[in-house]
Structure formats: C-alpha cells, structure tokens
Amino acid sequence: MKYGGYAGKILTVDLSSGIFGEIPLTDELVENYLGGRGFAAKILYDELEPGVAALDPGNKIIVVTGPATGTLVPTASRTAIGCKSPLTGAQSVSYMGGHFGAELKYAGWDGVLISGAAADPVILVIADDAVSLRPASGIWGKDTRQTQELLAAELGRDFKLGTIGPAGENLVSYANFMHVQHAAGRGGIGAVFGSKKLKAIAVRGTGGIRVGTPTADYVAGCRELHRIIRENPVREAFRWMGTTGMLPTVNEAVGLPYRNHQDDRAPDVSPIHPEEIAKYIEHYEACGGCNVICGSVVEFVRNGRQYRTERIEHESVWALGPLCGITDLPAIMEAGHLCDLLGMDTMSAGAAIAWAMEAREKGLLDLQDTDGLDLAFGNADVLAEALAKISAREGFGDVLARGSRGAARYLGRGEDYAMQVKGLDIAAYAPRAFTGMALNYATTARGADHNKAFTVAAEFLGVLGDYDRYSTEGKPRLVKRMQDSTAVIDSLIMCMFTVDLGISVDLYARSANLATGLEITGDDVYSIGERINTIERLFNLREGFTRDDDRLPARFAEEAAPSDEGGHTVDVGTMMDEYYREREWDDRGVPTRALLDRLGL
C-alpha cells in the first residue's frame, strides 16, 4: 500500500464457520481514520447490523493496532479492542499495553475482525500467516494467569497471549480481556469474547514493519521524541508511582469522589498514599518501546497469604478504595489482583459495589437482599467475597455483574445512586470539582470515560491551559478539542500519558508522519479526531441514543459535596447547547449535513 507503518491487511475470523479471510487496508481508510480507535469506529459502524445485541453472534470484535505500533515511536505498544458494549449498548474501544499489538503487526496483520460464535470453547492461534482455531475446553474455567501459563507451556514462550477469565466466560457485563497483567477494560469486551466461546488469542510474528520515512530521518525523529519524554520531569514521577501520585493531591483539592460520590474528599488517604504503595514494589517494568517504565510488580501479604502482582493504579485504588469508603491498602491491592485474575474491570466492579453500599445505607437493600454480603461502606473484608460472587454470577453477585445501572434496573430501585453515564461508571475525578470533566463524561460516546478528554490537565495541572476548574466558561470548546486530539492519540496508538510528558498535538502529527510517510499537521489531528468522534456519535444515534443520554446523575447539579466549602455543583445541561454548536450538531445532538459533508461522511 501507499503508506508505511501498516501491514496492509486485517485478518477476519468467523467463529461459527471456522473460515478465515482478510480485508485489505485502503489509502482512504488510513488518511481518514489513521488506525486504532479510528479503524475500530469506522469498521464497527460499517460491519454491525443496527440494533444487534451485544452478546449475539452478530456482534463483532475488532482487535487492532495503529501505525506507530511496533515502531521506534515511543509508547506505541498499545492494542485497541472494540465491540458493541454489553454494559452500555454503545460502541466501546479499550486499550491495553504490553507487547501483544507489536507481535500482531510483526505477524503481518494490522488487526483481527472476529465474528460469529464457536459451538465449543476455542483459542485463536496466529503464527504469521498460519491461523488456526484450537479447542480450549481444557482451559475454560481457568483464571487469566493460569490460562496464560498453560498456553505458554503448550505453544512456547515466543507467543504473546491474551485471554478472558471466569468473569468473561460468565458474561459479566464489565469483563476484561487480559494480556499478562494489561487489561483491555471497561465496557465488557471480555463478556463478548465469552459469548463467542473465544477464550484466548495467541500470536507470534517473525516479520518486520516498513516505515514511510527515510531511515535516517525516521531514526532521528524517533530519537527526538524519546529525548523529549526522557527529559520531562514528570517522567520520574510516573516511573516511581505510576498514576497514583495524583490521588492525595486531588483529594486535598476536594476532587476525589468518596462513598459513591456522596462527597468529593476522603477524610484520610494517607494509608493509600503513593509512598505507601511504593513500599511494596519489588521491581519496575515497561511496555514495549516505552522509556517511561511506569509499571511495577508488588509483593504483599494479606490475612497470611502472600501475593505477587502488578502495582495498583490510581483509578483502581480509588474505585476499590475511597469510592467504597475503604483505605485498607492490602485489601485494595488484593481486590485489584482478584479483578485481574477473574478478568474484570476494577472501576465498574468498585462502582457496582459502591452503589450497593449506598443503596443499603439508604435502606433499599438489606442482608437478605445481598445474599449475606455485608455491603457497608468501609468494610474492606467484603471486597474479595463480592468479587468472587460477581465473577461466578452467584447470588447477589449476579445482580452486581450487570453494573451499577443494570443492577438498579434489574431490582427496580436505586438508579439515582448509580453514578454513571450511558451505563459506564464515572471515574475518579469529581464532576463538581472539574466542570470540563463533567461535560466530557456526559458527552463521550462510550459513557463516562475520563481518558477521552482529560481536562484536569488544563483545569488543575496547568499542562494544557489555565482554566478555572469550577467555571463553565470556555469548557465546551476545550472539551471538544481535547476529545478530538485524544481520538488521534488512541488511533496512533500512543500512551495517553504522553500528554503529560511533553508530546504536543504537533508532535502527535509528527509521530504519525514518521511511521507512515503521511504529511499531516496539528490541524489535521483535530480534523481526523473530529471525524472519529462524529462516526461514534452516528453509531450511538443509530442505536437509539438521544440528547437525554448526554447527562450526569442529578446528584451533581442538586447536591454540593459536604467537604466543599464553596458549595459547588455542576449542571452540564447549561453547557450542552454550546457544546453541540462547537461540534456542528443540531439542538438534538445530531450531526448536521454541513458537518457530514465537510468530513466526507
């Protein structure tokens, strides 16, 4: 094909028939959508029948790389996995680090499009051009670590592996797909794998990647990107503490949701301070091609049992901790470890438990309703038991496996306490404390995803601007532009943390050009991102979403956080018309014909 950075084809796998094929990449697809999230958005829009149920064989999974994947561009080791979400009903694309994506590219594939459903459990094995489906009955029921260890022993250590755990097999609506300890989480991708009886994917590649820039220019350009990241002072903080360094700072700023968003400040987060987490670190590790090295392995003991696992990060510490009124670090790390083994999203699992804790506090649930689970705020001992029941869909775990909104609707009570948007639970940055985040939560196509426009960088950290975090002025334009630029980061695919490490919009364009030979500019980054966000919006509209779905739970407009002396609330409805105008959508949130013509949609 015309451009470098791509293998030039996507593998197709029909699990119902066992037939394999391929889809060639076109120059038009590359120029308009770049890769990763962009490819997923376009392909899922074109391939899925309107109204298909998420767990129906007609839903499809796209596993896809970006043009920078497997190249010398820093942090470009990530893999995107997309489908129609069983948690939200919207299109959902999640990202995981590690080495899986690069290996897929080295095998000669930009991605894999999976359709149908197998009659019995299978694994998909890709060894360059040799593709096969193998029985997985011997590993069905195993956790994610056991599965990967067994497959490595059978296939060889050269294979890069990804798998679902029991949560995916049992169709938990927020089940993950796991590659080593890296999770393609949120949205329930693992449940879609489970519905298709696809337990795991194993890939080994022995090829290379042709880039679209002359070698000397390519190496020099990539070296410069690495230098910018290496010399940024934030790098050392990321390496030492990952994302957890933000937790005490955000809490002090009355911006850390506590007890299911009833407050925005925990009384004491010193037990889960990053300095406390650092005490358990055994060694550091990196994803492929990354010079930040922000991952680490921890060892700890809880209730006499020794654990060795990945260090828990900001969102997981918060969701399984302060959101549930808990600051017992070993209990939180144990819960995070169990989520990884069982294969489910820490954020939605914590949010479902926190919802039940508030519902019980408000008298909507009792011990009989919860199958004996003592779901009281602050009860650290209930976490492991609740997670096991959720994964097995046993007793009240079957209710919580539906997510906070799904659980409330199933029981017919408590939806006011489900802190979510479009079914996806709100993240660890309080909407009342960061109004840009509030608007982003409300308008992002997949639901309340903080990474689709991390406005905290501009509203609090001073990285991308200096906005009043409580004001709504200028936030619609800020959110729109950050959502658009983020779509390109997700399409390259580079790590989102590079925003904090000195990589600007112009440098994201440069990263794309180095790999592909394209000549896009910073302005083009916004245009490509706008196209991706627009087609995701069109997907949602086709599935029945309306303006009414672009809203936050009423709590944030009606109740100030008790710890906030300023008494701030946020009503995203006051910003919505301006946001729609920025997007060139009509007052119903429907993209205008002029916009579609301009974007070629």
DSSP letter assigned to residue 426: P
Q: What are phi and psi of 41, to 5 degrees?
A: -60, -50
CA-CA-CA-CA torsion sign (276, 279, 285, 291): positive
The yes-or-no verdict on residue 576 having pLDDT over 90 is: yes
pLDDT at 522 over 90: yes
**Residue 227: inside a domain, yes or no?**
no
Same domain, 411 and 450: no
pLDDT tens, residue by residue, 21-61: 999 999 999 999 999 999 999 999 999 999 999 999 999 99
Give percent above pLDDT 90 in the chain.
92
The number of domains in the chain is 3
Residue 232 covered by a domain: no
- The answer, yes or no, to whether residue 306 has pLDDT greater than 90, is yes
How many Cβ atoms sit within 10 Å of the Cβ of residue 246? Answer: 22
| Residue pLDDT, tens place only, 99-146 | 999 999 999 999 999 999 999 999 999 999 999 999 999 999 999 999
Angstrom distance (rounded) from CA 12 to CA 109 = 10
Question: Same domain for 250 and 353?
Answer: yes
Separation in Å, CA 560 to CA 256, 473, 569: 13, 20, 5
Backbone angles phi, psi at 230, to 5 degrees: -65, -35
Residue with tokens 């960088």: 457
Instruction: Output the domain CATH number for residue 530.
Output: 1.10.599.10
Which CATH number belongs to the domain containing residue 124 in this structure? 3.60.9.10
Domain containing residue 487: 427-599
Question: 27 with 169, same domain?
Answer: yes
pLDDT in tens, 406-432: 999 999 999 999 999 999 999 999 999
For position 500, what pLDDT does the model report? 85
**3-class secondary structure, 11:** strand
Residues 72, 146 share a domain: yes
Q: What phi and psi, each to the nearest 5 degrees, are found at residue 282?
A: -100, -40
| 189 and 270 inside one domain | no
Nearest residue to 510 (alpha-carbon basis) of 218, 229, 209: 218
Burial of 50 (0-12, 13-18, 19+ CB in 10 A): exposed
Same-domain status, 452 and 327: no
Residue 16 CA to residue 71 CA, distance in Å, equals: 34
CATH classification at residue 249: 1.10.569.10
Residue 579 parent element (H or E):
helix 573-583
Q: Is 312 within the bounds of a domain?
A: yes
Q: What's the pLDDT score for residue 580?
A: 98
Last residue of a domain, one of 185, 204, 223: 204
pLDDT at 238: 83
The pLDDT score that the predictor gives to residue 373 is 96
Average of per-residue pLDDT across 355-371: 96
Confidence of residue 212 (pLDDT cuts 50, 70, 90): very high
Q: How far apart are CA 95 and CA 79, in angstroms?
A: 5
At 383, the pLDDT band (50, 70, 90 cuts) reads very high
437 and 349 within one domain: no
The reported pLDDT for the residue numbered 102 is 96
- 87, 188 in Cβ contact below 8 A? yes
pLDDT for residue 496: 87
Residue-wise DSSP of 42-61? HHHHHHSPTT--TTSTT--E
Q: What is the reported pLDDT for 227?
A: 95
Strand 61-64 to strand 111-115: parallel, antiparallel, or no bridges (unpaired)? antiparallel
Residues 437, 393 within the same domain: no
**Would you say residue 214 lies in a domain?**
no
Q: pLDDT of 496-512, one tens digit each?
A: 888 888 899 999 999 99
On whether residue 395 sits in a domain, the answer given is: yes
Q: Is 324 strand, coil or helix?
A: helix
> pLDDT tens across 63-113, in order?
999 999 999 999 998 999 999 999 999 999 999 999 999 999 999 999 999
Q: Are residues 47 and 97 in the same domain?
A: yes
| Final residue in a domain of this structure, among 370, 390, 424 | 424
Is residue 209, in this structure, part of any structural domain at all?
no
Average pLDDT over residues 470-491: 97
The residue among 398, 424, 450 that closes a domain is: 424
Residue showing tokens 């869909």: 393
Mean pLDDT score across all residues of the chain: 96
Pairing mode of beta strands 9-14, 111-115: parallel
Q: Does residue 222 lie within any of the structural domains?
A: no
Query: Considering the domain boundaries, does residue 216 fall inside one?
Result: no
Q: How far apart are CA 517 and CA 210, in angstroms?
A: 10
Is 481 in the same domain as 358?
Answer: no
Q: 3-class SS at 92?
A: strand
Whole-number Cα distances in Å, 476 to 415, 536, 594:
28, 18, 20
Tell me: do 51 and 190 sit in the same domain: yes
Side-chain half-sphere exposure of 601, counting CA atoms within 13 A: 26
Looking at residues 230-242, what average pLDDT do you find? 86
Q: Please tell me whether residues 304 and 315 are part of one structural domain.
A: yes
Hey, what are 452's tokens?
Answer: 């689709």
